[in-house]
C-alpha cells in the first residue's frame, strides 16, 4: 500500500487462468507485439498497470486485488519471506525508494 513500484515498472503477463470466472476484467488487459496478453499499461518499459491507483512510493492500491493475475500474487517484496528479491529492489530503486531491509 505504500510502494507499488513493481506495478509501475515491469510488464505484467496475464495467463488464461487469470481470466477464468468473474476474475480479472479483460478490458484491463492488452496484447503486446508478440501477442502476449498483459495488464493494460504495462506493455512499454517504465509503464504503469491500469489497475494501480495512487502515487508510487506514497499510497497505492490495486483496484482488482482479489482478482489480480497470478504473477502479481507470486511476486514477493524483498525479505517478505526471509529472502531478498532483486526485482523488488530494482523497481524501488527506479523510483528512488530504498530497498526493503531484512530487519
Which residues sit at the interface with ligand SF4, rule CB under 6 A? Answer: 7, 12, 39, 49, 51-52, 62, 64, 68-69, 72
Instruction: Give the nearer residue to ligand SF4 in terms of CB position, either 64 or 88.
Output: 64
In the complex, least distance from residue 12 CB atom to ligand SF4, rounded to whole angstroms:
4
Q: Return the H-helix or E-strand segment holding 87.
A: helix 86-94
In the complex, least distance from residue 10 CB atom to ligand SF4, rounded to whole angstroms:
8
Instruction: Give the nearer residue to ligand SF4 in terms of CB position, either 25 or 102.
Output: 25
Question: 26: which DSSP letter?
Answer: G
Using DSSP, state whether 45 is helix, strand or coil.
coil
Contact 5, 97 (CB under 8 A): yes
Amino acid at each position: 500500500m505504500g510502494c507499488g513500484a513493481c506495478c509501475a515498472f515491469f510488464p505484467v503477463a496475464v495467463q488464461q487462468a487469470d481470466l477464468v470466472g468473474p476474475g480479472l476484467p479483460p478490458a484491463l488487459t492488452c496484447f503486446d507485439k508478440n501477442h502476449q496478453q498483459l495488464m493494460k499499461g504495462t506493455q512499454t518499459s517504465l509503464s504503469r498497470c491500469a489497475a494501480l491507483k495512487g502515487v508510487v512510493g506514497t499510497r497505492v492500491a490495486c483496484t482488482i486485488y482479489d482478482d489480480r493475475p497470478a504473477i502479481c500474487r507470486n511476486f514477493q517484496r524483498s525479505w517478505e519471506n526471509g529472502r531478498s528479491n532483486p526485482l523488488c529492489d530494482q523497481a524501488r530503486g527506479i523510483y528512488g525508494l530504498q530497498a526493503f531491509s531484512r530487519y
